[in-house]
Amino acid sequence: MITVIDYGVGNIKSVQKAFTKMGIKSIISTESQKIEEATKLVLPGVGNFGDVMQELRKLGFDKILITKIQEETPFLGICVGMQILFETSSEAEGINGLGIFRGRVQKFTQGKIPHIGWNEIIPRKSRVLKKGYVYFANSFYVVPKDDSIISAETDYFVRFPSAIEKDKITAFQFHPEKSGIFGLNILKRWAKC
Amino acid sequence: MLAKRIIPCLDINKERVVKGINFKNLKDIGNPLELARYYSNSGADEISFLDITASYENRKIILEFVKSVANEVFIPLSVGGGIRTIEEIQSILAAGAEKVSIGTSAVQNPQLIAKAANKFGKQAIVLSLDVQRSSSMKNGWEIYINGGRKPTGLDALEFAQKIENLGSGEILLNSIDRDGTKLGYDLELIKLFNENLKIPIIASGGAGTLENIRDAFTIGGADAALVASLFHYKNYKIQEVKKYLRKHKVEVRL
């Protein structure tokens, strides 16, 4: 079962609604046991990197997530749910991310901030993405040490990684659940692969 | 690059979409759910609901609409009008809205913006200012509250800069002078704000022609354009507007 992790930050329901719309069953859970039993995991996230990490640690979800990812349970991180896979963020100095990937999260230096609205994803090689417009709402973006994990990029004064795919880990900086039919199909392909 | 957004705006009054001129003389436009569905299918980048009475009853009705719309339309929805508390924001976001726009309360209680941005993220908080030209203001525009009825004596730009620092993620800039007139957006207003703020600007009030919408982007520098009358009265379809914009080298999502 696809399990959407609810840790009290952000609107979790919209992700589940998007799966439901595509005929895919999912549950929302706040319980460690349910998350441990999940066969696929989704971590949505909005707001501040530091707040998200602190909530995850408080609930003990950080360790569960690391274990599940190491066990190769398919994982999807969305927005801040992507960023916390990395080591650090300039949004919250002194608070470590999960450190699944080496690299940091940094702020845009040019253009209007936040980067809000529809922008194009340009896939490199991806199991789930096609070229097209998706909805973003971010001031920060990831800078991986290992360039090969980037599965799509987007231009906003700089070219930044808008998606990552590595083994069973998938992560999007954008919001597929807010990106119309195009976004719903991305979620469907992820759920099926 | 980031596409410029076209946002249809639904002013809601007692289960109906309405539209006025200069914030007065309301006319009935149609059913909110049907209109939201129609606009979403025809290429809207976002849909904005505005609670024009901000009464307890009307808010309940809007939340029900947002819930229904959010179950079938997967694009960002925003809700504004009379929002005063963190609890109200919470209930609107929980209903499936991506963002709330806050006007009067931001003026009366700027800390609400800071608290809300801190709790829900900047991207969820839009500062909505109703402004009118005024030669007695330092930068030329005065903020009005309570649905455009009450002058505040506040310089619009100075106030917006203050709220930007407190954490709003976007600003919805409504020109009372141009609202519903179809005379075009107030380009000087948009330009002034665009040059002095870092957050995205949603231009509102006055769209009457395709050229008006283009100018909001190419001359004013807006990031998004709110459109009501022009779509409600079926002068243009959203796709026609976007095709026109693309022809004029404005990046849009088609």
Contact A109, A126 (CB under 8 A): no
Residue B158 lies in a domain: yes
Residue B38 lies in a domain: yes
Distance from CA of A70 to the nearest CA of B (A): 30
Please compute Rg for chain A using Cα positions. 15
**Domain that residue B209 falls in:** 5-247
Residue in A114, A183, A184 nearest the CB of B169: A114
Residue B159 lies in a domain: yes
A chain contacts of residue B72, beta-carbon cutoff 8 Å: 21
Please compute Rg for chain B using Cα positions. 17
Separation CA A52–CA A117 (nearest Å): 22
CATH number at B62 reads 3.20.20.70
| Residues of A known to be catalytic | 79, 175, 177
Question: B74 and A156 in contact by Cβ < 8 A?
Answer: no
Residue B221 lies in a domain: yes
Contact A96, A56 (CB under 8 A): no
Domains of chain A, first to last: 2-192 (3.40.50.880)
Q: How many CB pairs under 8 A join A and B?
A: 94
Complex ipTM more than 0.90, yes or no: yes
Residues ≥6 apart with Cβ < 8 Å to A139:
A91, A107, A108, A113, A114, A115, B122
Separation CA B163–CA B116 (nearest Å): 12
Any A CB within 8 A of B69 CB: no
Looking at every residue in chain A, the average pLDDT score rounds to: 96
Comparing CA positions, the residue from B109, B203, B123 lying closest to residue B168 is B123
Neighbours of B54 (CB within 10 A): 17
Identify the residue among A6, A9, A11 best suited for mutation to test binding to B, counting B beta carbons within 10 A and taking the highest. A11
Backbone φ and ψ for B235, nearest 5 degrees, come out as -65, -40
Residue B160 lies in a domain: yes
Residue B46 lies in a domain: yes
pLDDT tops 90 at residue A193: no
Residue in B3, B74, B198 nearest the CB of A117: B3
Residue B254 lies in a domain: no
Q: How many domains does chain B have?
A: 1
Any A CB within 8 A of B242 CB: no
pLDDT of B33-89, one tens digit each?
Answer: 999 999 999 999 999 999 888 777 888 888 998 999 999 899 999 999 989 999 999
Q: What is the mean pLDDT of residues A23-45?
A: 96
Separation CA B239–CA A142 (nearest Å): 34
Question: A133 and B40 in contact by Cβ < 8 A?
Answer: no
Distance from chain centroid for Cα A6: 14
Of B130, B155, B179, B186, the active-site residue reads B130
First to last CA, chain B: 14
**Any idea which residue has 């929302």 for tokens?**
A28
pLDDT tops 70 at residue A10: no
Tell me the DSSP string of A75-100: EEEETHHHHTTSSEETTSTT-----S
pLDDT, one tens digit for every residue, chain B (254 residues): 999 999 999 999 988 999 888 777 889 999 999 999 999 999 999 999 998 887 778 888 889 989 999 998 999 999 999 899 999 999 999 999 999 999 999 999 999 999 999 999 999 999 999 999 999 999 999 999 988 889 999 999 999 999 999 999 999 999 999 998 899 999 999 999 999 999 999 999 999 999 999 999 999 999 999 999 889 888 899 999 999 999 999 999 99
pLDDT of A116-174, one tens digit each?
Answer: 999 999 999 999 999 999 999 999 999 999 999 999 999 999 999 999 999 999 999 99
Residue B253 lies in a domain: no
